[in-house]
Amino acid sequence: MNDHTIINDKTIDRRQKILEILYLQSQVKVNDLSKIFNVSEVTIRNDLSQLEAKRMLIKTRGGALKSTNVGLDPNLEIKKNQNLKEKQLIGIAASKLINDGDTIILDSGTTTVEVAKNLQRFNDLTIITNALNIVNELIQYPNFKVIIPGGILRRKSLSLIGHSAETTLRNYYCDKIIMGIDGIDVKYGITTPNIEEANLNKTMIEISRELIVVADSSKFGRRSLAFISKIDRIKTLVTDKKISDIDLKKLKEAGVHVIVV
């Protein structure tokens, strides 16, 4: 496959790269890796054994395959980017639903970050967000008014939650809310794993005229702990083309405008 060698004497770094290659190509071979990193095959086997012991891959004869339960390991940055391309397309499409002058809420989440990255064309937006990684993106737009309701830091989602956040939010009324969610089920509605986050989301929806949901197709059929809203409250849903025909049909029946990218 690839002849040229990467010079690298860092064991940990090599193992990280092995994982990256594995995630790009779904499988790796011992002899390939040996050539790529310019180390003996025994070393590569040793690497694969170590990684297998940490359940980050499954060894096979001649190489290794992706682990099935990698999703359980929160440290894997790689997984975060798995549907990145879909999320980027969704982000671009969702940004087109915004008009200059709008007041919008940008909810926390990796998909909504992609929306925040695509706001260059606007001159005048007021954006309310409780997610610090969204704020980080918004800093680049010098003219936007950025309002952070505040609250108690939730590290896992880098968002601010709690009673005071909800109280502050009720002082505002918005044109649109763009919300990322953890699960969407055409029957049960949209859900998220954290109860407090769900409460905040409910408040956000209440103070917004229009609910836009961004969700890649992997979120469909998934049902998380905390309920946020029924499907028919959604005005527009932006997702990718891997959505099933059945889901698509049911969404349209519920009056949801679906944009597929």
* Alpha carbon distances (Å) from 117 to 25, 93, 156, 158: 28, 12, 21, 17
Using the minimum distance from each CB to a copy of itself, give the nearer residue, 157 or 191.
Answer: 157
What letter would DSSP give residue 131? Answer: B
Q: Which does 171 bind (CB under 5 to 8 A by kind): DNA, a copy of itself, none?
A: a copy of itself
40-79 footprint of a copy of itself as x/- string (CB under 8 A): --------------------xxxx-x--x-x-xx---x--
Please name the residues in contact with 113: beta carbons below 8 A apart, sequence gap of 6 or more: 91, 131, 133, 134, 137
Please name the residues in contact with 200: beta carbons below 8 A apart, sequence gap of 6 or more: 130, 151, 161, 165, 166, 169
Q: Tell whether residue 38 is a contact of a copy of itself (CB under 8 A).
A: no
Using the minimum distance from each CB to DNA, give the nearer residue, 9 or 245.
Answer: 9
Q: Which does 155 bind (CB under 5 to 8 A by kind): DNA, a copy of itself, none?
A: a copy of itself
Residue 80 CB-half CA count within 13 A: 9
Q: Which does 47 bind (CB under 5 to 8 A by kind): DNA, a copy of itself, none?
A: DNA
Task: List the structure tokens of 151.
Answer: 């609250």
Binding residue (CB under 8 A) for a copy of itself from 49, 50, 99, 136: 136
Using the minimum distance from each CB to DNA, give the nearer residue, 9 or 100.
Answer: 9
Cα 187 off chain centre by: 23
Using the minimum distance from each CB to a copy of itself, give the nearer residue, 65 or 84.
Answer: 65
Binding residue (CB under 8 A) for a copy of itself from 135, 186, 207, 254: 135
d(CA 21, CA 4): 15
Interface positions with DNA (CB under 7 A): 2, 4-12, 14, 29-31, 38-43, 45-47, 49-50, 59-63
Amino acid identity for residue 137 in this structure: E
CB of 126 to DNA, least distance (A): 27
d(CA 208, CA 129): 13
CB of 27 to a copy of itself, least distance (A): 7
Q: Tell whether residue 207 is a contact of a copy of itself (CB under 8 A).
A: no
